[in-house]
Amino acid sequence: MLFLQDSPLSPAHATLDFQPGDTLFISPRSALMTRGIAAEIIAPDVAALPACARSLMDQARSMGCWNAIMMGAIPFSRTSPARVFIPENQRFMPTSTAAHASDRRQKATTCMGVSMNPTPARYCQLVADAVQAIEQGEFEKVVLSRSLTIEAELNLSKVLQTLARRNPQGYTFAVDLATEGKGYRTLVGSSPELLLSRRGHQVISNPLAGSLPRSLNPAENLRRNQRLLASAKDRHEHALVVNSVADALRPFCRHLHVPDTPSVLATPSMLHLSTEIRGDLIDLNTSSLEIALALHPTPAVCGHATSSARQFIEQHEGFDRGLFTGLVGWCNLDGDGEWAVTIRCAEVGDRFATLYAGAGIVAGSDPELELAETTAKLRTMLGAMELDRVLGPTA
């Protein structure tokens, strides 16, 4: 095993240096890029992951690799395999101010084909069906998603650079998913949502739920901000998520601070109700990965109650989410780390990309508005790919 922590790494340098096969995680706190795999976790499902991760990190300690970092992408389904590994080489430094570098030699991406699953009309029907199920008492909330597959050749370095520049307070990531003989595949995205950060005794989670598309007009954007804060529907959806996350964190924390009211977090394409929850960890032997897995999946990506919402998703959504709405991030030997919710993302291959977006459905949800919300969320990745034009205003 070889583990390196070398020259300072800014988001600009990390994205410009990125090559297919690398793994990257940029947060407001740090920039981390890795190359190669020294050891990988083979876990049949998410339930087996904590024990496998502890064993791998113990192996690194026994070899004196004290700066080892474990990186990973964990799926939505708890019965699917995760991608978790210790890299051969790593560059990891506190985030510095990124230079707004650009590669003007790159041409705009050419899109050669588009397919949607489900179609916009089918998605609206799914939302209507979910609202009916809520009215019948099956669950209080369910998150319904769409996938969009495009045929195109993408410059990943440029896409990541754009994502990191546009959302510096978010979590930009690229995780190598390649399997031997099948070409490269990379999970790429820029999530606004922190599932779990641990730094010493301090634990932070920042759940988001309740959203509106952002407007380019400042006055209209202010009105939407105020409307979101005043929306009983969105406040109810947000409270379901915050209460669930707080309940899951309490067994791990001596003290837990949960603000009484949410604020609004703005991304380039969306406005989200946001609550930052902070806690004081009881046991430093509990890693950030273990706590993150105890939170996953939150009602922000699945629903409430979890089991009935998940069952509805599996029966009606119509596609395998894979790593979408899972978690992505890193953990070190001390247990510190950062894990973001895997949203605003795409799986990118040699000549294709599959993008994902979802919306929380509660009582009173309007199918056309939920469709518009998922369209706005898809534009995060499409804009970075220079393919925003492939969707109409309500596609």
Which residues are identified as catalytic? 141, 193
- What's the rounded Cα separation, in Å, for the pair 1 and 125? 52
Instruction: Return the amino acid letter for 61.
Output: R
Q: How many other β-carbons are positioned within 10 Å of the β-carbon of residue 151?
A: 13
- What's the rounded Cα separation, in Å, for the pair 299 and 330? 22
DSSP H/E element including 312: helix 306-316
- Residue 267 gets the label, from left (phi > 0), alpha (psi -120 to 50) or beta, of beta
- Please report, for residues 116, 138, 151, 369, the alpha-carbon distance to residue 359 in angstroms, rounded to integers and kept in the order given: 16, 18, 25, 10
Take residue 58 and report the two structure tokens written for it. 């113990």
Which residues lie across from 117 on neighbouring strands?
147
- What's the rounded Cα separation, in Å, for the pair 138 and 311? 10
Which residues in 192-326 belong to E strands, given as ranges? Answer: 194-199, 202-206, 208-213, 253-257, 263-266, 270-274, 277-281, 303-304
205 in Cβ contact with 245 (< 8 Å) = yes
